[in-house]
Amino acid sequence: MTTTVPGQSASDESDGSPLAHAPLAHARTGFWTLTLGSVGVVYGDIGTSPLYALKESLMAASEGGALTREMVLGVLSLILWALIVIVTIKYVLLILRMDNSGEGGTLSLMALVHRAMGPMAGGVITLLGIVGASLFYGDAIITPSLSVLSAVEGLKLATPAFEPYIVPLSLIILLGLFAVQSRGTASVAVWFGPITTVWFLAMAVGGLIHIGDDPGILAAINPIYGVLFLINHGIAGLFALGAVFLAVTGAEALYADLGHFGRRPIQTAWLGLVLPCLAINYAGQAALLLAHPDKLENPFFLLYPAWALLPMVALATAATIIASQAVITGAFSLTQQAIQLGLMPRLEIRRTSETEKGQVYLPRINWLLLAAVVVLVIAFRSSSALASAYGIAVTATMVITAIMAFFALWRCWKWSPQMAALVIVPFLLVDAVFFGANILKVAEGGWLPLLMAASLTIVMLTWRRGVRILFDKTRKVDVPLLELIGMLQKSQPHRVKGTAVFMTSDPDTAPAALLHNLKHNKILHEKNVVLTIKTADAPRIPDEERVQIESLGDSFWRVIMTFGFMERPNIPRGLALLRKQSFTFDIMATSFFVSRRSIRPSAHGGMPFWQDKLFISLAKSANDATDFFQIPTGRVVEVGTQVTV
């Protein structure tokens, strides 16, 4: 992947080098510390699903009528087997093994498959990655809204007088959550694991208390109950199936957070704590409803005695804040990857921790997410109304992950296409069934994440296509670098002391800033470095493979500097590595020349006029190259150029 300079981002051309090096961060941390941490971050989202999943499923199944034993057993069976098939077998045991040098997530898997397939991948794999990433943002705005609302709604059970304050209190909590993002989460993240562990144990205790109300509920582990429920309930069964999926939302977080904790801690936390606690709680809720069908309004909080209600609401609120934090952090990390992979323009990225590489804050993304969350809470006003909008984005993402997993098994693991299909198709069919069930909820709010995903997909495709057109157009008029050096040898310009670094997206052509410097200033530095930044399909690159230097003669050097898609480029630090290759570099005697492009739409461009305008507006919104590449501001010379797309 090539990252271009001012006015554009990375293109999608793979450098083809096998730059895969597993991160060692989690190797330096204790296994049980990582396991505890994964409980808080990885399982925060799925851990709040019991607040609403069973309730919404049974409401959809009963269609406002009375609950029956067959109905409760059938829905519970579907939830338990969704946890077993989708989360345990598909994600915990299979997908977690598809790491890209230790990293996971939609874009990481896309880069892994793209590197393995090479030219065969075409644009299909990239498109799948873009759509999957776009759908994740839908999850990132619905999870905080739904989970916080569902937790605060528990106050209504203490006294109906709280009802008018549910929405305002939820908004205050969410505003506070987004307001503290700029300070980072390193100082409070140490509490995420312990708090969420207490939450899971409290859920298990609540479930155990009520399983005794009707021990026959344990028969729901038999999948026949779920199958018979779907057969006997027609369209209501499909609506209920869409709500059942709420129990497994957050499964993608298992994969997305792989790089932070490692596969074994995540697997241990799920099998040893999270899955048993979830299963016990769902069984307890179902047993309670068999004994007291009138408690369907909020079976989760009614598991607990009156004296424990307010403490459980407080604990649930803390758990939902942690779950929301995990999704917000995931959105920041995903955006950083998208920028590095050339799918989005440069945005301001701030480090919020000196020790944790994954702790980043993107101001624009944070406030856009907050605005969307506030609109959702005000528009829907209840967790039940929001639940209809939740499943579509997540099910679609899971379908995309399953498709890319097929290519990973085939091309990365070297399985035969038939064997890969034999493993993946059953999961794909399950995901497709859940997706079809959730499509029925489009009119009830499911259109929202689809609209958002479609908009973001258009933005990413436009940026990617615009960068490619810009690259091709400038290359047609650029002067070959070696040809220019030959001309300069024949007609030497005036020399000045120091080093000049000219940034360019194409290492074979003379940078526009170099040509303008020669044309207007008529000077050349003692040392001239033509620098190209590339983004690899690997998450991180070791320093020994960071820079490549080639002498071109007559005081010119060509430097290729490579960063992983999880890294933030730091050019001065990268150039300092050249000292090991006998190239002396003094930052205080170096000037960085960058081109600031003014882009104009063309009547005969490669994109429709509206897409030209969108690309130009995205380019204008891009963060300054000086900040993005961490170049000292006092050492930068900007040269303006104009180009049409």
What is the average per-residue pLDDT within 596-600?
75
Query: Looking at residue 581, what is its pLDDT?
Result: 84
pTM for the model stands at 0.80
CATH class given for the domain over 2-21+32-464: mainly alpha
Query: Looking at residue 521, what is its pLDDT?
Result: 82
Which of 55-64, 205-214, 246-255 has the largest mean confidence? 205-214
Query: Looking at residue 612, what is its pLDDT?
Result: 87
Q: In the chain, what percentage of residues exceed pLDDT 90? A: 39
Q: Return the structure tokens found at 41.
A: 């971050």
Greater model confidence, 389 or 179: 179
User: Comparing 2-11, 315-324, 499-508, which segment has the lowest mean pLDDT?
Assistant: 2-11
Query: Looking at residue 314, what is its pLDDT?
Result: 93
Using the predicted structure, report yes or no on whether residue 14 has a pLDDT greater than 70: no
CA atoms of 319 and 152, how far apart (whole Å): 11
CA atoms of 500 and 496, how far apart (whole Å): 10
Nearest to 528 by CA among 501, 560, 563: 501
Evaluated on CA atoms 80, 85, 87, 93, the torsion sign reads positive
Give the start-to-end residue ranges of the domains of the chain.
2-21+32-464, 480-644
Query: Looking at residue 15, what is its pLDDT?
Result: 32
Q: Return the structure tokens found at 363.
A: 């101001």
CA atoms of 164 and 156, how far apart (whole Å): 9
Q: Return the structure tokens found at 335.
A: 């955006």
User: Please, what's the b/e burial string for 196-223 (b: 16 or more CB within 10 A of its CB; e: otherwise)?
Assistant: bbebbebbbbbbeebbebbeebeebeee
User: Please, what's the b/e burial string for 570-590 (b: 16 or more CB within 10 A of its CB; e: otherwise)?
Assistant: ebbebbebbeeeebebeeeeb
Whole-angstrom CA distances from 536 to 13, 346, 507 are: 10, 17, 16
Binned at pLDDT 50, 70 and 90, residue 607 comes out as confident
Binned at pLDDT 50, 70 and 90, residue 357 comes out as low
Nearest to 38 by CA among 47, 51, 49: 47
Query: Looking at residue 252, what is its pLDDT?
Result: 81
Using the predicted structure, report yes or no on whether residue 589 has a pLDDT greater than 80: yes
What is the average per-residue pLDDT within 248-253?
84
Q: Are 509 and 552 a contacting pair, CB within 8 Å?
A: no
**Cβ of 443: how many Cβ atoms within 10 Å?**
8
Q: Are 530 and 504 a contacting pair, CB within 8 Å?
A: yes
User: Comparing 219-233, 272-286, 597-611, which segment has the lowest mean pLDDT?
Assistant: 597-611
Evaluated on CA atoms 269, 270, 276, 279, the torsion sign reads positive
Taking the CA atoms of residue 449, residue 453, residue 455 and residue 457 in that order, the dihedral angle to the nearest 10 degrees is 180
Query: Looking at residue 11, what is its pLDDT?
Result: 33
Query: Looking at residue 391, what is its pLDDT?
Result: 79
Pairing outcome for strands 350-351 and 494-503: unpaired
Query: Looking at residue 479, what is its pLDDT?
Result: 85
Using the predicted structure, report yes or no on whether residue 20 has a pLDDT greater than 70: no
CA atoms of 575 and 595, how far apart (whole Å): 19
Per DSSP, 635 falls in state G
What is the average per-residue pLDDT within 555-571?
90
Q: Return the structure tokens found at 168.
A: 């305002």
Q: Are 331 and 140 a contacting pair, CB within 8 Å?
A: yes
Using the predicted structure, report yes or no on whether residue 24 has a pLDDT greater than 70: no
Query: Looking at residue 457, what is its pLDDT?
Result: 94
Phi, psi dihedrals of residue 598, rounded to the nearest 5°: -100, 115
- Supply the DSSP string of 466-501, one letter for each residue: HHHHHHHHHHHHSPBHHHHHHHHHHS--EEEEEEEE
User: Comparing 6-10, 218-222, 503-507, which segment has the lowest mean pLDDT?
Assistant: 6-10
Nearest to 279 by CA among 480, 111, 49: 49
> pLDDT tens across 370-385, in order?
999 999 999 888 888 8
The distance from CA 408 to its chain's CA centroid, rounded to whole angstroms, is 19
Within 13 A of 520's CA, how many CA atoms are on the CB side?
8
CA atoms of 243 and 237, how far apart (whole Å): 10
